[in-house]
Structure 1
Amino acid sequence: MTDSAPEAVNPVVPRPQTPHRDLLQLEVLPDEAQLRADIERLRKERNAVIIAHNYQRPEVQEIADFVGDSLGLSRQAAKTDADVIVFAGVHFMAETAAILNPEKTVLLPDLRAGCSLADTVTAQGIRDWKAQNPGGLVVTYVNTTADVKAESDYCVTSGNAVQVVQSLPEGVPVLFAPDRFLAAHVIRETGRAMDVWDGACHVHEAIRPEDVQGQQAAYPDAELLIHPECGCSSRILGAIPELQLYSTEGMIHRAKASPAQAFIVVTETGMVTRLEHDVPDKTFIPVSRTACCEYMKMITLENIRDALVNLEPRVTVPADIRALALKPIERMLAIG
């Protein structure tokens, strides 16, 4: 038996494909000038105000009526006469605006814009602490959900946490929640013993002392502006005990007053945009390009425009939760 020669194999050539355009989820890139024009028109038609946090995208900060920290934006929300509040921030901030303005329409352009810090504490956790500490006081960072605020005695921001804690009666147990790094700053400044919730912002926690030291080596004449939420703050203070920590608004005041011409900004990168706008004659260097909150950056010109068109997504707070949560916010605003 002899082997036969192998048969020739003809390559299989696929037929030309006709694109199925209906399967392609393509969107035309938005025209920024048109988006801005649409937002300006809709802002007037809706009698809307746009308030933006310091960590928002540069183009969002630029079109906002007000840009500020949590305390400043809470104050703006409390006194606005607009019918619609568009909150360029994250969910707990829009909730705070809704608590202060139950009769107004509060919009959060992207409901996915949450907060890793707010997610570390629950209302049940606060209730459990209060059950173990009758008569104790709960001080919560404003970076918390409405139901957590409803279980609290006082709210604070990084700008007034020291002042609020200093106002509390001595000898009373205090729970400070949820940011352990801000709590450490308050304890250093006040000497007050407190129970501290073990929470942190994922962006601030990830900023390392090595990041700060690397920028100091690259910019030896630059002054440090460090936010008290930063996980690196204790070690940096160990090396520079006279260093002051600053809220985001405090950073602006310090940059204006300081003789330094350059600053290393140790917080979320969006703060560089605000500083460059308010102090244009000085130089601001982000501590790390990766210190970026993906939740804050979910707000865009496009979804702000869409929110004004549709008056959605709307953020509301149930009346019973609102009534309880309003008290610690009002106490915070009354103290400063």
Structure 2
Amino acid sequence: MHTIIKHVTVLILLCCGLQLYAQDTIKNPEKDKAIHSLESLKESIRAEERDALRIEVKTVNERVLHKEISYKEAEHLKEAAAIKRALNIENRIRITENRMEYFERNKTDTISFEDSKNMFSVTIGAGEKGLKIKGKSKPIKYDIRTGNQFLFAIGLNNAIIEGQDFSDSPYKVGGSGFVELGWLWNTRLFKHTNFARIKYGLSLQWNKYEIKDNNYFEDNDKVTTLEDFSYNLKKAKFRTTSLVIPVHFEFGPSQKIEKKDRIRYINNDTFKIGLGGFAGANIGTIQKLKYEENGDAIKHKTKRDFNTNTFIYGLSGYIGYDDFSVYIKYNLSETFKNQEVKQNNISLGLRLDLD
């Protein structure tokens, strides 16, 4: 009996030992991989700080060229930047090594670490394995000359027709309108002042006419004319959709904010005026008619080019305060081709430029 118990005990201990050995052989390669990843991270820390130092030195040199600081001040700033970056490397690597030693000593299966530049997590053993790094920060740029804005404009739309007064327009003033949506870039033209800038981008324009006097547009052998509709029209709307590149030269004061490591120009709460134009293509034309026929309400949509000009261009401008402006645009290109009477689109409304 004692012999059996001894054999069973030895067998159990042997099985436990084999299991522990197997676990260790599985986990050690993962630990080696994690430690190798952390060593790679230390090298990336050195590279980050060296890149940041190069940017700081370049910024200081630019300030010397622009005579914002003296050569002596520049040398002092570059020396201070070099010391700061060297200490950053030393501190961040020391923190990384301390974390590695802590997790090795406590034999934890998960290594996690966070500093001001990176956050990463290493998982060893069961479950998800690997190294995750996110949240890498970039050095602050000393001067940003180009920003971006969202454009929204809405207002009245009509046409200037050759030989007709505006009061004789075939389009309703209240029912005819336009909408414009776009994305713009705003670039300062001069290094040391933001009084003049160029604004450019891409936008969609929708120009709509609501036709009066029971008329509608008809394509008659490549000539678009207004014709009387055979039923009583409740509504007759004609709309073009255009994709354009707007370009404006904008003028106005701005506030300059100077800090030790950056300068910024702010246009909030200031007057502005923009002069320029646009060019692009007509990408869609539609006519919508609403009427009754034998007591039935009918809606009829026609999508075709209606002999509209594909290439469009014009002049535009705005004047305003802060984000809001009064906006006007005029199409130098005629609305329709092959017309005996010229017709050019004109719009007036409100414009919103959001940073």
Is TM > 0.5 for Structure 1 vs Structure 2?
Answer: no
Which structure is higher in RCO with an 8 Å CA cutoff and minimum separation 6? 1
Q: Pick the TM interval, shorter chain.
A: under 0.3
Of structures 1 and 2, the larger Rg is shown by: 2
TM score, norm. by length of structure 1:
0.19
